[in-house]
Amino acid sequence: MRKKQQYPARSWRKVSGAAALAAVTASSLSALSADAADAEGQTLAQTQTIAQAGSDAAVNPDGKSEPGKPVEQKLPNGEVVIDGADVSLPMTKNVISRDALDKANPQDGYEALKSVAGVSNASAKGTISDNLNIRGIQLDTYSSYRLNGGVALVNIIAIPSENKERIEALKGANALMYGLASPAGIVNLVTKQATNKDVTTLGISANSFGGYGANVDIGRRFGENKQFGLRANLSAAHLESGVRGGDGEGQFGSIAADWVVTDQLKIKLDYERYRRDVIEQSQIQQLKPVNGVIAIPHVPDPRQLLSGSWAKYKPTIENTQLRVDYAFNSDWGVLAEAGRSVGERSRFISRINGYDVNTGEGVNNVTFVRNQKYTNSYAKTELLGKFATGRLDHALTLGVMYAEREANTPSVTTVKVPQNIYTPRSLNEPTAPNTPITYSPQVAKNVGIYFYDTVSIGQQWKVLFGVRHTGYDASNTTNGVAKETSTSKISPALGVIYQITPATSLYASYMKGLEETGTAPVGTINQLTFLPPAEATQKEIGLRSMLAPGWFLTTAVFDIVRANAVINPTANVYQIDGTTHYQGLEATLNADINKQWTVNVGGQLMKAEQNSQLDKTIQGLTPENTPKLSGNISAVYRPSAVPGLSLTAGASYNAKRYINPQNQGVIPAVTVYSAGVGYSTKVFSRKTTFQVNVDNLTNKRYWNSASGGAYGIGMARGVKASAKMEF
């Protein structure tokens, strides 16, 4: 008898009990998502199996790894389940669970994902938005961060995690599943949903820099059959990133609603809005090379404000996504969804250059950016089902997707004021030229038509194959003249999974697809303009194994070729110049040594090389900000004498990195240490959790990134404390 397969995110059990609906990711990728919480709101597994041998490990609140495993659906009310495609995908997935997020109390995306092998920071610590590298590749600001696997978020603010059930780093997820997407992967943010268990949680947090905030999480189900669900999250904070005088305010609100209309029809809506009003720190630009070498300054005090109290950054983000699922029967179903992400901001971008590396005296170039707006729109329809041909079991997806990105691209003006990077002076607010704003609108549209089928051959083999056709059209207006760009590509994908034993699987994949190639940085001739998409190729071979109960190993070898977008040092134009070839090995081990000790280790070995067509000075050189070796290790100790107490210590390492494509300077290798204490108990009979974390334990002063012609400064030692009470 053919094994009953599950139609992942359409699982009506998740209406009545899901703490997280893996929404579009699960449906569009079928089993990419982790199973959500059961009907009582308890996690079944921190992350779902991908190769049927277990999953990439997640970490629970005590630091224990919990390999995922297939689970049986337990459905209330006799609801029909579409058992659609139990698709195991040949790629790497790392999941940060809700409990792990609570433990880390992350202030941005990097803090949430820093324990994932191959993830590094691409900007200064405390920067106002998330800028991440995965496998040496910087994720695109406008296409690489997804809400429930669907709409691409406008990532101009550090994305809040208060309403997220988990955050997933999906490495190797490419065009077949997501349309225009980086071959390195995407970051998927899965929202909390109402469960059968009422949720009322109050949390408070503070840090040693003077920041503080509070949040509330409320979830309820209503109706005779609990067919209506609501989950609301609210937070407000006084923000202190560590830069003295760089304070601000932030607010966040979200609601997730679902309605089981009938046994076969379900509707789900997610809405979130967040804003910031903060001071933006100045960037330290790289100097011009002298005899082929760039002089690198001493690392300035990261707590000193180089801009001023006038450098206000005021972004607002609004994200909306609606989804409808309909089950024809237990084998076939259809989904339709649409989403929109809108980001608006005004800001002062200040960049210090021309400084003396000994005295620090230089010039601060302050650029006024007013009324900037980005809009991402998205719609998708998919037909999913399962059937058999002889002894072969099929899990088929047929889909069509439309995505549109708009940017108004306002004109900017720049003024210059003296500043010192070591002993900064207080700067008066620069006076902007009294010139009207003009706009150079940019619109990019793409339509994808695709299918993919996962074929199960016996108990040990699965083969994934599919094709996506992408049509891309863009219009960029400059000085009132529109330039049209069109392209189309057929992107194939092929993957194989072999189940060596019930606990070990081997996989291989080959995928092609279009990806966004970035936005020109401020200060370049074509600043703020989008480059056209280019084709990327990704190959991967990996092994997943549960070595023993509580011991889980994942390892992968990958090969990525993608377009190389760089700043031409002569013309000062941001452009595509040939390709970059990334070859790497990454591995993660999560080990529960015993009831008291858990150890997590991850690392990546990378070889990357630029193949230039225009600038021969970068031919064969390493891309900027790409370490050959990176890794992290953490250990958790839970003393049996004090139930509920956990002690954590960790370290992260990055080898030296070149500061630009021409390899004209190097920032040194760095190891940063952290520690934490957690305690779970009951206060007034209410479950209460306390957490204190220390970042940069040794107060090291270091460069944490070098990209886009600028340096990122690591933040000084900081202490974060949080408490959460469940009512």
101 against 547, higher pLDDT: 547
pLDDT confidence band for 199 (50 / 70 / 90): very high
Mean pLDDT of 107-123: 78
pLDDT at 107: 72
Q: 289 pLDDT band (50/70/90 cuts)?
A: very high
Q: How many CB atoms lie within 10 A of CB 341?
A: 26
CB within 8 Å of 489: residues ≥ 6 apart: 469, 470, 472, 512, 513, 514, 535
pLDDT at 19: 30
If one counts the domains in the chain, the total is: 1
User: Is pLDDT above 60 for 255?
Assistant: yes
Rounded to the nearest 5 degrees, what angle is found at the Cα of 89, between the Cα atoms of 320 and 498? 170
Question: Does 5 map to a domain?
Answer: no
Q: Does position 521 have pLDDT exceeding 60, yes or no?
A: yes
Confidence grade of residue 561 (pLDDT, cut at 50, 70, 90): very high
Query: 3-class SS at 617?
Result: helix
Phi, psi of 126 (to 5 degrees): 90, 5
Whether the Cβ atoms of residue 415 and residue 369 lie closer than 8 Å to each other: no
- What's the pTM value of the predicted model, to 2 decimals? 0.85
* Average pLDDT over the chain, rounded to an integer: 85
Structure tokens at 136: 């040496």
Q: Residue 287 belongs to a domain with what CATH number?
A: 2.40.170.20
Q: Is the pLDDT of residue 532 over 70?
A: yes
Residues of the domain holding 492: 13-726
Least confidently predicted of 8-22, 196-210, 558-572, 580-594: 8-22
In this structure, of 95-104, 107-116, 413-422, 435-444, the range with the lowest mean pLDDT score is 107-116
Is a pLDDT exceeding 90 seen at residue 118?
no
Distance (Å, whole) CA 4 – CA 222:
31
Distance between CA 27 and CA 281 in Å, rounded? 41
Contact criterion met (CB below 8 Å) for 127 and 209: no
pLDDT band at 274 (very low <50, low <70, confident <90, very high): very high
The span from the CA of 447 to the CA of 483, in Å, is: 20
Query: Given pLDDT bands bounded at 50, 70 and 90, which one contains residue 209?
Result: very high
Domain assignment present for 166: yes
Confidence of residue 173 (pLDDT cuts 50, 70, 90): low
Coil, helix or strand for 656? Answer: coil
Report the distance separating Cα 28 and Cα 382, nearest Å: 7
pLDDT surpassing 60 at residue 302: yes
- Stated length of the chain: 727
Pairing label, strands 686-695, 670-683: antiparallel
- Indicate whether 7 belongs to any domain: no
Cβ–Cβ < 8 Å for 327, 7: yes
Query: Given this model, what pLDDT does residue 6 score?
Result: 39
pLDDT in tens, 333-377: 999 999 999 999 999 999 999 999 999 999 999 999 989 999 999
Kindly state whether residue 4 falls inside one of the protein's structural domains: no
Provide long-range contacts, Cβ within 8 A and 24+ apart, for 517-521. 517/563, 517/565, 517/576, 518/138, 518/140, 518/565, 518/574, 519/141, 519/142, 520/573, 520/574, 521/567, 521/574, 521/708, 521/709
Write down the pLDDT at residue 124. Answer: 59
- pLDDT score at 38: 32
Asked if 652 contacts 672 with a C-beta cutoff of 8 angstroms, the reply is yes
**Rounded CA separation 502/499 (Å):** 7
Poorest-pLDDT segment among 179-183, 551-555, 649-653, 715-719? 179-183
Q: Calculate ∠ Cα 214-220-225, nearest 5°.
A: 175
Neighbouring C-beta atoms of residue 391, cutoff 10 Å: 9
In the predicted model, is pLDDT for residue 571 greater than 90? no
CA neighbours within 13 Å on the CB side: how many for 102? 25
Distance of CA 231 to the CA centre of its chain: 22
Q: What is the distance between the alpha carbons of residues 273 and 432, in angstroms, rounded to a whole number?
A: 30
For residue 524, the model assigns a pLDDT of 85
Q: Residue 174 — very low, low, confident or very high, per pLDDT cuts 50/70/90?
A: low
- Region 702-710: mean pLDDT is 92
Q: Is residue 3 situated within a structural domain? A: no
Distance in angstroms (rounded) separating the CA atoms of residues 233 and 101: 15
Two structure tokens written together for 714: 């690591």
Q: Given the structure tokens 């992408």, which residue do they identify? A: 470
State yes or no: pLDDT of 52 exceeds 50. no
Which 3 state secondary structure label does DSSP give 65?
A: strand
Confidence of residue 70 (pLDDT cuts 50, 70, 90): very low
Report yes or no: 383 and 449 within 8 Å, Cβ to Cβ: no
> What gap in Å lies between CA 195 and CA 207, rounded to an integer?
32
- Residue, of 164 and 4, whose pLDDT is higher: 164
Q: Is the pLDDT of residue 56 over 50?
A: no
328, pLDDT greater than 80: yes
pLDDT band at 565 (very low <50, low <70, confident <90, very high): confident
Q: Which residue has the higher pLDDT, 185 or 107?
A: 185
